[in-house]
Amino acid sequence: MQACTCHLQAAQWYHQHREGLLGRWIMAFKVPAEIAKAAIAAGCTKCNTTWQKLLVLAFLAGAYIAFGALLSEIVAGGLSNGTITGPDGAVWKIALPAGLVKFAAGAVFPVGLMLVVIAGSELFTGNCMFAPISLLNGEASARSLLKNWTLVYIGNFLGSIFVAFFLAYKCGFFDSLPWAGWAATVANTKCGLDFTTAFLRGIGCNWLVCLAVWLAISSEDIIGKIFSCWFPIMAFVTTGFEHSVANMFFIPLGIFAANNPAIAARLADANVATANLAGGAGWYNFFVTNLLPVTLGNIVGAAFFVAALYWYVYLRGPLCTLPAEKASKR
């Protein structure tokens, strides 16, 4: 058996034409095998970054994802109010379709990943793809992978909860309805998921998140990276999958609101459920009921469905082969 040359010829054509005027416009992206190699190089760098810089970059990534989550809460919470003020100042009651509210939340959330990818930072969910593909290719160690994941996870948590407490809760954005109700409902629902559901939603989420990162690696211009981030991230948020780092914002924000006596009174008057967020049980539900299974699902979604499968297809052995009799005729 002899490896076929179809993909090699395509790659050669790509490199010959990419410098031309038309070539630069048509082929301003990497082909899949090149994406895999670029991901390995990035993963190797990430696994060898100093712990101090990892923590700083991870804090930034956690904050960036939280900014996207904050914007999502503000937009969706406002739409969930079910009212609109007319030109004459009259308040009209409307009932927006639930799917439209979810789409609005998903449409604005991707700004977080755009900041991570373009500005540069260390996101745990993305590194669940970068580090394993480098490990599989023999360019990173299991120890460096675990170091990266641990430090980045801690940094992401610090960045997310900083934004949740100081830039969302303390700024007063969620002191009143409908935003307090939306934040509490989102957090209470997430803390009520059973282990299997949270785990599976974690898989679906990070499969899409890492595909967004994969596509962004392919693009060689800013606009391409923006669109690469937007579509898969919009899809995961609108669908309702679970992202561990985003939940480091969503759930603590709901806990802060539900345990504030003044806000809690407004939530009770509006019949907003907060049973999963009360007191110490709220933090237990955050860390154990939600964050643990979602994190495990995020790891599987990235490490297996993106890193391992693409490494196997494009980097482990030839992509395709020809029968021996056809190869002998060449």
Q: Is the pLDDT of residue 63 over 60?
A: yes
Mean per-residue pLDDT over the chain, rounded: 89
- Identify the pLDDT of residue 2: 44
- Identify the pLDDT of residue 6: 47
Nearest to 25 by CA among 216, 218, 220: 220
- Residue 99: pLDDT band (50, 70, 90) is confident
- Identify the pLDDT of residue 127: 98
pLDDT, tens only, 195-221: 999 999 999 999 999 999 999 999 989
Contact 161, 153 (CB under 8 A): no
pLDDT, tens only, 313-328: 998 877 777 666 555 5
Q: Write the CA distances from 28 to 13, 220, 230, integer angstroms.
A: 13, 6, 18
Please state whether beta strands 83-85 and 91-93 pair in parallel, antiparallel, or not at all (unpaired): antiparallel
Contact 192, 288 (CB under 8 A): no
Residue carrying structure tokens 């002899």: 2
* Lowest-pLDDT range of 17-31, 44-58, 104-118, 122-136: 17-31
Q: Which helix (H) or strand (E) holds 169?
A: none
For the chain, domain boundaries: 31-329
3-state secondary structure 66-99: HHHHHHHHHHHHHHCCCEEECCCCCEEECCCCHH
**Matching CATH number, 31-329, of 3.10.20.70, 3.30.470.10, 3.40.710.10, 1.20.1080.10:** 1.20.1080.10
Nearest to 222 by CA among 28, 46, 33, 61: 28
- Identify the pLDDT of residue 217: 95
Contact 34, 214 (CB under 8 A): no
Angle at 150 between CA 193 and CA 227, to 5 degrees: 70
* Lowest-pLDDT range of 79-83, 199-203, 256-260, 309-313: 79-83
% of the chain with per-residue pLDDT over 70: 85
For residue 87, whether the previous peptide bond is cis, meaning omega lies within 30 degrees of 0, is no
* Lowest-pLDDT range of 13-22, 143-152, 167-176, 252-261: 13-22
% of the chain with per-residue pLDDT over 90: 77
pLDDT, tens only, 139-182: 999 999 999 999 999 999 999 999 999 999 999 999 998 899 99
The arithmetic mean of pLDDT across residues 297-309, rounded, is 98
Backbone angles phi, psi at 240, to 5 degrees: 110, 20
Pick the more confident residue, 71 or 321: 71
pTM attached to this predicted model: 0.88
- Residue 80: pLDDT band (50, 70, 90) is confident
